[in-house]
Amino acid sequence: MKIFIAIMFLMGAFVPNVYSQDTLLLDFSEAIRIGLSQNLMFQTKINEQEILKKERQAALLGHLPRVNMSNSFYRQMGQQYQQVEGQLIVTNVTNDIASSNINATLPLVNAGRRLNTTRATRLYEDAGEHGLHRAAQEVVFNIAQQYLQVLLDRELYLIALENLENQKQQLRQIEGFVEAGIRTLSDQYNQQSEVARLLTVVLDAEIKMETDLWLFAETLQLESGSYPMLEPVNMDAQRSEFMELSLPELYEISLNNRRDLLEQKSMEQGHKRMLSVSRSFYYPQLSAYFNYSTFATTLDERSFADQFLRIYPQSTIGLSLTIPIFNNFENKVLVTRSKVAYQNQQLEYKAQERMLTQETKLAYDNYRAAIRREEATKVQLSAAEEAQKVIAERFRLGVSNFVDLAQANQQLVEAQSDYTQAVYTNYFQEVILRYTLGILEVESL
């Protein structure tokens, strides 16, 4: 009994007192919502996507004329030169001048620079959207992994707790057998030792469950003191339609749905457009321009409105042709840099495509193995239950010894644990397969 008291004391000392915490009931959908709102990488990508959106809008508006207005107000003090009746008169005066200028330019011909820039920024925005979606899938995947791990820990803890209660009941039966002279005192001591061992097993299972639960709370960035209580996942909702598909069909699904691969493809196309943009600097550029300017001065005695609006306004309209002749190889460097970026992106896409093929095959093989493992452990559990019933009855009748009973009980608990782990592994392997194929959504769990 001293052993029991000591172990119970340890459980009270090391297991956190969760009842003093604020319990937060969470289902998987709510956990995903919290995770997406708190995940740093995902929120950063959302902010970066806003920049890509503005860049696309700026490129689209780049097809319109560029209009600028400038105004200046200044004072000239000192000698002023004036031409009067053929003579140059120098006077020492103070001259206040106000001037205004409006300038508009519109590129007419620039070797497709505006068009390619617009298409490139659109492709970059598409790439950002693909990356954002893949980042969301990664958050869902990580949360699903930890969520299911906590649920598995809880199931294993309940199995260990149930086994402990069964062995306590078995101890009471053996104590009765000893008093009746059916069993020896050594069987009672052995059973007491087994109960004490199972107490530590329960303690370890509870500590692991609590540890994984607090790690999950940290992943969701819950407030300090919040204790998440997770609702179970409906394992019956699991679908196995992937078993009917061949590997080539799965590869095709991956190629069409993996957002990280689509992101690399959009980036490659965008870099190709930017290469065309850099090459456009080799060719002449024709632009139209319009300029309107006016001013008013205190040297003129007429009113400010007359000077500014009627007397001094000037307007200019024309065409400007710029022909690049020699720019210190700056254009060549720009083209080379764009070409290298495009070639490197092609390599990134091919590497991602090869990795996708390997990941798909590995996820599919693990998924099939998980299904077979669940089927095998189900048979193992059924056999262990029948064997334990038979040996327990033989032990009650005095035919079997304590060693046989202990082994049967241990095999039953191992079979229960193996089957529970196999069920969760099978479920999570389908999550992994969906994540690998790029079709993982919250509704699929």
- Whether 292 and 101 have beta carbons less than 8 Å apart is answered as yes
Q: Is residue 333 part of a domain?
A: yes
Task: Tell me the angle at which helices 259-279 and 330-396 cross, rounded to the nearest 10 degrees.
Answer: 180
Q: Is the pLDDT of residue 69 over 80?
A: yes
In total, how many domains does the chain have?
1
Round to whole Å and give the CA distance between 251 and 417.
Answer: 34
Count of other CB atoms within 10 angstroms of residue 143:
22
Q: How far is CA 396 from CA 168, 179, 185, 386, in A?
A: 15, 14, 15, 16
Q: How confident is the model at residue 159 (pLDDT cuts 50, 70, 90)?
A: very high
Whether 64 is covered by a domain: the verdict is no
> Per mean pLDDT, which of 3-12, 289-298, 393-402 is the most reliable?
289-298
| Residue 99 domain-assigned (yes or no) | no
Residue-number span of the structural domain to which 118 is assigned: 2-38+110-283+327-444
Residue 87 confidence (pLDDT) above 80: no
* Nearest to 129, CA basis, from 265, 33, 30: 265
Tell me, what's the pLDDT at 53? 95
The band of 271, judged by pLDDT with boundaries at 50, 70 and 90, is very high
**Within-domain flag for 94:** no
**What pLDDT is recorded for position 247?**
87
Mean pLDDT of 382-408: 86
Q: Taking all residues of the chain, what is their mean pLDDT, rounded to a whole number?
A: 87
Question: Per-residue pLDDT averaged across 138-158, rounded?
Answer: 94
Phi, psi angles (nearest 5°) of residue 96: -95, 125
Structure confidence at residue 442 (pLDDT): 55
pLDDT surpassing 90 at residue 15: no
Q: Quote the distance between the C-alpha of residue 13 and its chain's center.
A: 38
pLDDT tens digits, 105-147:
999 999 999 999 999 999 999 999 999 999 999 999 999 999 9
Taking only the tens place, the pLDDT of each residue in 185-233 is: 888 898 899 999 999 999 999 999 999 999 999 889 888 777 788 998 8
Confidence of residue 19 (pLDDT cuts 50, 70, 90): very low
CATH of residue 274's domain is: 1.20.1600.10
Q: Of the ranges 177-191, 234-248, 305-319, which one carries the lowest mean pLDDT score?
A: 234-248
Examine residue 153 and state whether it is found in any structural domain, yes or no.
yes
Question: Predicted confidence band at 173 (pLDDT cuts at 50, 70, 90)?
Answer: confident
DSSP state letters, 67-102:
EEEEEEEEEEEEEEEEEETTEEEEEEEEEEEEEEEE
The answer to the question of residue 11 being in a domain is yes
In a domain, 306, yes or no: no
Tell me the per-residue pLDDT of 228-261, one tens digit each, with 9 for 90 and over: 889 988 876 555 677 788 889 999 999 999 999 9
The CA distance from 268 to 134, in Å, is: 18
Q: Is residue 240 part of a domain?
A: yes
Residue 17 has pLDDT above 50, yes or no: no
